Chains A and B, each alone.
Chain A
Amino acid sequence: MSRTLVLEREATGATAAEGLRDILPAMIACIPIGLLFGALSVGKGLSVLEAGLMSILVFAGGAQFAALELWTWPVPVLALAFSTLLINARHVLMGASLAPKFGEFSLFQRLLGASVLTDEAWALAERCALRRQLTPAYWFAVAATLPPLWVGCTFLGAWLGSFLGEPRALGADFAFTALFIGLVAGLWRGRDTAITVIVSAVTSALAYVWLGPPWHVAAGAFAGIAAAWCAAPPERSSP
């Protein structure tokens, strides 16, 4: 009896309730990071509305924190767009990998579904697709719950941040550096990452001293990527 039930459950697609259960840890982790983003935005001189608007329209944590770190007046629009494009380039690979698994999705669901793609939703959907049919219900449960939470926490953090005062006295200006070190640790893949990180760090610091911002981002990023290319074994073209 219970065996038939299990088989039946496996044969049907993943449900929204399962999606909500799977995304819950990521939602809890999203709350303090969203509050931090809002508070740091206001510390940088953005208004509460501008901080919230960025979370609504961009909705990509890493790129948003990087933008704040690079933010100066006058606003370097091109440098910000470029840094965002580079940091989010990973979405292209995630989308390409998910596309064949979106078989049950209508065109509108694909378009909307792609627009709420995040690292967390991607990882859960890939895990789900290993065993079951990926359904729109499951995808939107894991992917569409994060944007409203991220936006809400940004507004709340920005509003609270306007009472905090001078960010440097609290060491808040260093929060970016610490956060990014933590994010890179999460991306660690051993030797390859070590080479990338060292080359990027040294090149960026030198470019910052010699050329000034915002050139250090492009210089460091490309040097790190080139180092990874050179360090990887070349692909054998013949058997």
Chain B
Amino acid sequence: MTVDPATLAAILAMAAATWLTRIAGFLIGGRLVLRGRAKAAFDAIPPAVLVAVIAPSALATGWPETAAAAVTVVAATRLPLLATVAVGVAAVVALRALAG
């Protein structure tokens, strides 16, 4: 049960960044109204960041990972979140075994 100083620094920085986003909207209040392109860009932030984080693991690791990602995409269109994760993990284990 130890806490590494660099890990603690990262956690504190993440906590500060998150708290800032939680409090900022309440400070701005009703003055922030986004329309048109600004709204589209803001709405795009969560999917853009999530995809950017996983793209190397899905596309630049090997064919088993890329194929498993494709299977997961299909699963995600019809299954709840946890079932999607289970299908993806099972697919990568099977495909890696196949790849040897």
Residues on the B chain within 8 Å of A157, using CB:
none
* B18 → chain A closest CB, angstroms: 5
- Pair B53/A180 contact, Cβ less than 8 Å: yes
Chain A residue, CB-CB nearest to B52:
A220
Bitwise interface map of A from 86 to 127 toward B, beta carbon under 8 Å scored 1, else 0: 111111111111111010000000110011010000000000
Which of chain B's residues has its CB closest to A174's CB?
Answer: B92
Q: Is the Cβ of B59 less than 8 Å from the Cβ of A205?
A: yes
Kindly list chain A residues whose C-beta atoms are within 8 Å of the C-beta of B51: 180, 184, 196-197, 200-201, 204, 220, 224
Residues of A within 8 A of B82 (CB): 29, 32-33
Once A63-B18, A89-B42 are accepted as A-B contacts, the answer to whether A178 and B50 lie under 8 Å apart by CB is no
Bitwise interface map of B from 13 to 32 toward A, beta carbon under 8 Å scored 1, else 0: 11111111111111111111
CB A107 to nearest CB in B, in angstroms, measures 11
Q: Is the CB of B76 within 8 A of A92?
A: no
A170 at the interface (CB under 8 A from B): yes
Residue A154 at the chain B interface, CB threshold 8 Å: no
Counting contact residues on chain B (CB < 8 A from A), the size range is 35 or more
- Interface size for chain A: under 10, 10 to 19, 20 to 34, or 35 or more residues? 35 or more
> Are the C-beta atoms of A180 and B50 separated by less than 8 Å?
yes
Q: How far is the CA of A217 from the CA of B56 in the complex (A)?
A: 10
- Interface contact A114-B23, CB-CB below 8 Å: yes
The reply to whether B28 and A84 contact each other, CB–CB distance below 8 Å, is no
Instruction: Write the chain A residue with the least CB distance to B78.
Output: A185
Residues of chain B with a CB closer than 8 A to A59's CB: 18
Question: Shortest Cβ distance from A164 into chain B, in angstroms?
Answer: 13
Chain A 59-82: CB-based contact to B (< 8 A → 1; otherwise 0): 110111011011000111110111
Are A53 and B3 neighbours in the complex by a CB distance under 8 Å?
Answer: yes
When chains A and B are docked, how far (Å) is the Cα of A186 from the Cα of B81?
A: 8
Q: Which of A63, A93, A172 contacts B14 (CB 8 A)?
A: A63
The 10 closest A-B pairs by CB, nearest first: A95-B25, A178-B88, A220-B52, A235-B36, A224-B48, A228-B44, A232-B40, A204-B55, A185-B76, A57-B15
Interface residues of A (CB under 8 A from B): 29, 32-33, 36, 46-50, 53-54, 57-60, 62-64, 66-67, 69-70, 74-78, 80-100, 102, 110-111, 114-115, 117, 170-187, 189, 192-193, 196-197, 200-205, 208-209, 213, 216-229, 231-235
What are 28 inter-chain pairs, A to B, with CB distance below 8 A?
A33-B82, A50-B4, A50-B11, A60-B18, A69-B54, A81-B14, A86-B49, A88-B18, A114-B25, A171-B89, A171-B92, A174-B65, A174-B88, A177-B65, A178-B72, A182-B75, A187-B47, A196-B44, A202-B55, A205-B56, A209-B56, A217-B53, A224-B44, A224-B48, A228-B44, A231-B40, A232-B39, A235-B36
